[in-house]
A and B are shown apart, each in its own frame.
Chain A
Amino acid sequence: MEQGSLLIIASSLVIGLVAGVVMHRASFCVTASFRDLFLFRDFFLMRQMILLVVVSMALFEAGRLAGLVTIHPFPLLSAPSLANLAGGFVFGIGMVLAGGCVVGSLYKMGAGSFASGLAFAGMLAGSAAYAEIHPQWSAFAKSTVLVKDAITLPQWLGVQPVALLLPLALLGGLWLTREFRAGRMDRPAFAAGHLAPWRAAVILAVLGFASYVLIGMPMGITTSYAKLGAGIESLFAPEHVAAVAYFSLQPLDYTPPFSDQAIRGGPGPQWDAIAAIQYPLILGIVGGAMASALRLGEWRLQWQLPRRQLLSVLVGGVLLGLAARMAPSCNVWHLWGGVPILALQSLLFLAGLLPGTWVGTRLLVRFVVR
C-alpha cells in the first residue's frame, strides 16, 4: 500500500478513536441539540453546536490562509439544489425517531445500546435502498439546482472567503464569550468521567480540522453506509448490485494532501478511497466509545426496549440512510464541515433539518414515547 493511503487510514482511525471517547464522555449528541430546542425549549446543547461551528470556521479559514488546508472547498460538495433541503428535512425526522444521528448512533452502539445498533442496521438498509431511486432523485436534484458554478456563499457573492468568515467567526466568538461569562455553557453533571460538552465541542472542531489538513476533507461517513449496505446486499443478490447504476458511481476523485496520486471512490461494495477514509473512522468511533464505556464499567448490552421504540429506531434508521444519500451526506459532514466554510449545500441542509426535527419530535411524543 502506498504511503498516502496509509496516512489516510491511520489518521482516520486515530481521529475516530478520539472522537468516540470524547462523544461518549460528554454525551455529545447532535440530535439532542436540535430536538431539545423544540421539545424542551432547551438551548444548552445547541450552544455547544454553535461553539463547534465557530471554532471550526476559524480553524478552517486560518488553515487555508496559512496554506495548511490545500483543497478549498473540499471534495464531494457541488452546486446547491432543492435535494439538499429535502434531504435535510427527512434527515431531521429520521434522527429524532432513531434517537441519534449517523454518528451519535455509532458511539451509542459502541457503548452497548441495542437500540442504536438497530438504528445502524436501518441506516445500512436505507442507504442501500436509495440506490433504487437514485436515477429519479438525481434528475430532481439536477432540475432544481439553485445556483450554478458556486459551491460556497463567498463564491456566489464573488468575495474572498475571509471577507465573510472572519466577521462571522468574530461575531460568534463575541456571543459565545458572553454565554460563557453568564454561565450558560456549562451545567452540573453527575456521570462518571464526565467531559464538559464545551470541551468536547472544541476537541471535535480540532479533529475536523486535523481531518481537513491530513485527508483533505472534514469528517464524513455515510457514503460507506451505502457501501456496507451494498456489500451485504451483494451476498444475496450480487447480479442486482452489479447492475444498479448507483453502485458503480465514483463521486470521489481527488488528490489528497501529502500525495501526488489521485484516488477515487464511491458507494459500490469494493475497497476504494471512500472505504480507506471512512471505514477506519467508523471503527474508531465505535471502538473509542466502547473502550470508554468499558473503562468506566458502564458497558452492558441492554435488550429491554418497548416495542414502539424498536419500530421507531428501525424506521428512523431507514429514513436516516435514505436521507443521507438524498441530501447527500449527513449532519456531521454538513454542520461540522460544510457550514463552517458556508457551503451552500450545507446551509440548505440545515434549513431543511430544523423543520424536519420539529416534525420528528411531534411524531415521537405522539406515537413513540407515551
Chain B
Amino acid sequence: MTQIIDIDIRGQICPSCLLLTLKELNRNSVAVRAGSAEIVVTTDDRQATATIPATADRMGFRTEVDQADGIYRIRIFGGS
C-alpha cells in the first residue's frame, strides 16, 4: 500500500512551501521513487504550484496539481 505523506503549508510565508517539500522529499526519496510513498502538499501559495513541480521534475519525480475551493494540492510521486 502506498503511504501518503501530507504536508499542509497553508498561510506560511515564502519560501516555506518549497523548502519544507524538499526536506520531506529528500527524507523519503527512496520510498517515493520506489512507489511505496507519495507526498501531497496542500497550499494556498500560487507560486508553489510552479516552483514545486519544476523542482520535483528536475529531481526525476512526477507531479500532479489539483485545485479545489481555492486550495491547491500538489501530488509528488515516483515510478515511470
Which residues does A use to contact B, with CB under 8 Å? Answer: 24, 27, 29, 31-32, 35-36, 39-40, 42, 44, 98-100, 112-115, 187-192, 194, 296-300, 302-306, 309, 312-313, 364-365, 369
Contacts and interface: CB of A to CB of B under 8 A. Distances in A.
Contact of A189 (B10, B13, B49): B49
Contacts of A188: 50, 53-54
Interface of B: 10-16, 18-20, 44-47, 49-51, 53-55, 65, 67, 69-70, 72
A313 B13 CA distance: 8
A20 to B, nearest CB: 14
Nearest to A192: B67
B10 A302 contact: yes
Most chain-B CB neighbours within 10 Å: which of A112, A188, A309, A313?
Answer: A188
Given A40-B55, A300-B44, A191 B49 contact: yes
A24 B46 CA distance: 9
A309 B47 CA distance: 18
Contacts of A112: 44
A31 B72 contact: no
13 contacts: A29-B47, A31-B14, A35-B15, A114-B11, A191-B50, A296-B70, A297-B70, A298-B46, A302-B11, A302-B44, A305-B12, A309-B13, A369-B19
A51 to B, nearest CB: 17
Contact of A297 (B13, B16, B53, B69): B69
Contacts of A191: 46, 49-50, 67, 72
Q: Majority SS of interface residues in chain A?
A: loop
Nearest to A32: B14
Most chain-B CB neighbours within 10 Å: which of A36, A115, A190, A309?
Answer: A190
Given A27-B50, A299-B70, A306 B18 contact: no
Contacts of A100: 13-14
Contacts of A32: 14-15, 47
A115 B15 contact: no
A315 to B, nearest CB: 12
Contacts of B14: 29, 31-32, 35, 99-100
Contacts of B44: 112, 298, 300, 302
Given A191-B72, A300-B70, A302-B44, A40 B18 contact: yes
Given A302-B44, A365-B19, A312 B13 contact: yes
A206 to B, nearest CB: 23
For the complex of A and B, list the 7 residue pairs with the smallest distance between their C-beta atoms, beginning with the closest. A302-B11, A99-B13, A190-B65, A298-B70, A27-B47, A191-B46, A189-B50
Contacts of A297: 69-70
Contacts of B55: 40
Contacts of A305: 11-13
B11 A303 contact: yes
Contact of A115 (B12, B47, B53): B12
Contacts of A194: 46, 50
Nearest to B19: A369
Contacts of A189: 49-50
A100 B45 CA distance: 13
A58 B20 CA distance: 40
Nearest to B55: A40
